[in-house]
Amino acid sequence: MKRFLAFFLALCLFLPVLSFAELDEEELELEEENIDLDEEGEEEDDGSDEDPMELSDQQKGKLEDMTAEVELDTSIDPSNLYLNTNLPDNVVNILLIGVDARGTKEVQKLPEQMRLSDSDPRDRSIAKRADVQMILSINLDDGSIKLTSIARNTYVEIPGRTKKSIIANSFGHAIYENGKYNRWVDTPETCIATVNKNFQLNIQYYVAINFFGVEEIIESLGGVDIDLTKKEASAINTYLSMSTIYKKKNGQYVLDSEGKKVRASHGKAIANSYDNHSDKRVKLDSKKAGVQHLDGLQALMYARLREIDDDFHRTARTRHLLDALLKSTMPRVLSGELDILDLITDWIEYLSTNINPMEMFTIASSVLGSVNLGEVQSASTLIQEFRIPEDGTYGYSTVDGSSVTVLKDKQGTIEAVHNFIYGRYIPAPYADN
């Protein structure tokens, strides 16, 4: 079972890393690579009578040190989260947030960027959007893991605001004093409250990451091998070498609601902000299809590609990247080359979260008896997926010059989410308010 614990913890770490690719469209069939955990595909029995969940004294010490030293977000107030207290507690729901906050070379990590508002409350120079929000649901009784993705342009009510907006704009909230705007507070609390209120859930935990965290975590593993098409390799090369390009229509620049030019592509801006690759980057071979080695930033661009095709394919690429990361990392973890607790120690500084390592271990421990590691061949065989909105349940509208996704039957969507996670609809106490 320790083998599954390592797999589970790695999966929890990789899921927020890949949360930037939202599941906007139907799933696309993709040939998946199995993760061979041993020669027979089954968990090996070492013949010992050791308690499978018993940690060594050294591991216990690491876990305790991490729990004591990690910088956790303690600002989340449960009374502000619109919790559905009628939901059973055998399912733990965690909100995974991909934040589009790029910053500068000097300020890269999301926790650092969030602290800027403490020193200068009116400084909004680093704009933040919760571009991706995914609900990770872990059933403590049967060990099932479910992932619900919410389209970034979903038009919803945001607690504390008078007007509806897209859910990507729910990161942080304004503070008013004497009826006037005073300052902006960078916090995922509003993201959690927004998801809970609109879909009658009980989320209290979150994990958030930005572009830099994604790039740095993959880079720290030495990159990843991915089977690329010629078009994918060429697009990644182009995206990381071009300067900012602005959209044009009929020879004129397209302007947003504030009169600013709309960017068509700005890969160079991302590279300049987040590229910590120590050596000169070797361009990918775009003349032939096949397996190539991607560094952290190239892998991030791979997961975000959609200009060359559509969101169907981007969704498939994201799952493929997740499986490739697990395939390359898990043998090193299981052989003892990598210690999963060391990985958590190294990576958690890139995340903003209110879950400490001990809580993560406890959650993992409670599902171990329900999962057969030998049957886990890839992330897709372990995780069931759902998305908001479902096909045929939404339409498009234009608000303040921007396209938004409108739920045609919000109550039907709420019930569909509950049926996916719980098997039945469980209304919140405030459902009729």
Confidence at 393, pLDDT banded by 50, 70, 90: very high
Among 20-29, 100-109, 144-153, 358-367, the range with the most confident prediction by mean pLDDT is: 144-153
Comparing CA positions, the residue from 232, 332, 215, 328 lying closest to residue 277 is 215
Token output for 387:
């998305």
The reported pLDDT for the residue numbered 225 is 94
Average pLDDT of 182-191? 82
pLDDT bucket at 290, cuts 50 / 70 / 90: very high
Please give the CATH topology (third level) of the domain spanning 2-31+54-218+308-422.
Aminopeptidase (3.40.630)
By mean pLDDT, which of 29-43, 289-303, 310-324, 389-403 is the weakest?
29-43
For residue 274, is pLDDT > 80? Answer: no
Quote the CA–CA distance of 36 and 44 in Å, as a whole number.
Answer: 12
For the whole model, what pTM was predicted? 0.77
The predicted-structure confidence for 66-77, as pLDDT tens digits, reads as follows 777 677 888 899
**415 or 241, which is more confident:** 415
Provide the pLDDT for residue 48. 42
Residue 39 has pLDDT above 60, yes or no: no
Which of these ranges, 91-105, 179-193, 271-285, 326-340, has the smallest mean pLDDT? 271-285
Residue 228: its pLDDT value, please?
94
Query: Comparing C-alpha atoms, which of 294, 314, 320, 312 is closest to residue 33?
Result: 320
Stretch (H or E) spanning 387: strand 383-388
Q: Please, are residues 102 and 304 in contact by the beta-carbon 8 Å criterion?
A: no
3-state secondary structure at position 291: strand
Asked if the model's pLDDT at residue 114 lies above 90, the reply is: no
pLDDT at 28 over 60: no
**27 band by pLDDT with thresholds 50, 70 and 90:** very low
Written as six digits, the tokens of 244 are 């900012």
Res 55 pLDDT > 80: no
Torsion over CA: 413, 414, 420, 426 (sign)? negative
DSSP state letters, 254-266: -B-TTSPBPEEE-
More confident residue, 10 or 215: 215
- Answer whether 195's CB lies under 8 Å from 184's CB: no
pLDDT at residue 17 tops 90: no
The rounded percent of the chain whose pLDDT value lies above 70 is 70
Pairing of strands 205-210, 91-99: parallel
Compute the average pLDDT of residues 87-94. 94
Average pLDDT over all residues of the chain? 76
What value does the mean pLDDT take over residues 317-333?
79
How far is CA 257 from each of CA 77, 130, 400, rounded to the nearest angstrom? 34, 20, 7
Instruction: Please calculate the CA angle 384-359-94 and round it to the nearest 5 degrees.
Output: 35
Do the Cβ atoms of 145 and 420 come closer than 8 Å? Answer: no
How far apart (Å, rounded) are the C-alpha atoms in residues 121 and 186?
A: 9
Of 79-83, 219-223, 260-264, 292-296, the least confident? 260-264
